[in-house]
Structure 1
Amino acid sequence: MKTQGTDYAISIVLIQQLLEKLLGDEIVVRTQLPIQLGDAEPKPSIAVVMPDVLRYADRHPIASEIYLLIQIADNTVKNDCEIQGKIYARSQIDDFWVLDISERQLHVFREPSDDGYDSQMILSEDATVALSAFSTCTFCVREMLQPVATQ
């Protein structure tokens, strides 16, 4: 397993804090924990799922309980978008994001089908985004990224 860099770690914490601040008790944010998709148990960077945490005391969240999956990537963007994207689309995950920390952009995948996602957007760090399940909750992509160091 590849060692996680500080940019990856910072993004995980920033996203978790941001979503919990904006959505509070309406969600549970799970970081690097399994979800249940058929016989597979992938571990996305972040899974935003239905509350409450004790709902998952004897099992992992299933597709119908997942609001959003986020994969944080630096050199795995192509794999995350293509391979993971197809797996999540086939499982009918409505909202899948890949945060490219190297390029500082967000790949947003929606409208799942058996062939992949029918809607795909790439947002710059200056763009705003909302979860499909919580369309009034918007924030800037930059809020999920480690600030750029100034010299």
Structure 2
Amino acid sequence: MIDEFVTIDFKLIAIHSSLDDYRLAYFINRELEILLEKHDESIGVKARGGEGWLSRFSFEDSASDTLWTFIQNKNKAEILQKNDTGSLFGSTAYTATTNVYLLPEMKKVDYILKIDNPAVDPQQLVDRLLGIKHITTAYAVDHHKLKSKNNLIF
């Protein structure tokens, strides 16, 4: 007997925008007629010596069995650095800021819209998203080519 694996079909759309996450989620809700809501739990991403947090919004459309997830792709993380100078007064510690990314190979992308079991053609969604004046650009992403696609499992 052959085991069958359940695979979830999902599509990714990369979004470039300088808006804050909650404002962009509002405009996406209005344009796509969905109800993205902010999660209480952010996504933790490890950085060199620290951890950063990425916001996440989601909406489950039970009528079409579609799950929409709007995720911040990049944010700042504070890391503790130790500077051992070898001096008489010992080492000093300071905090430094670094960038953390959900998808490191897409460092210029501000947000990701992940659609599980999409009932709509992704290109139609991209066209509608481009109608939001606060979005600089948006485009579909082939998740099969991503090295860090496991970061999309949450």
TM-score for the superposition, normalised by structure 2:
0.33
TM-score for the superposition, normalised by structure 1:
0.33
Higher RCO, 1 vs 2 (CA within 8 Å, ≥6 residues apart): 2
More helix by share: 1
More strand by share: 2
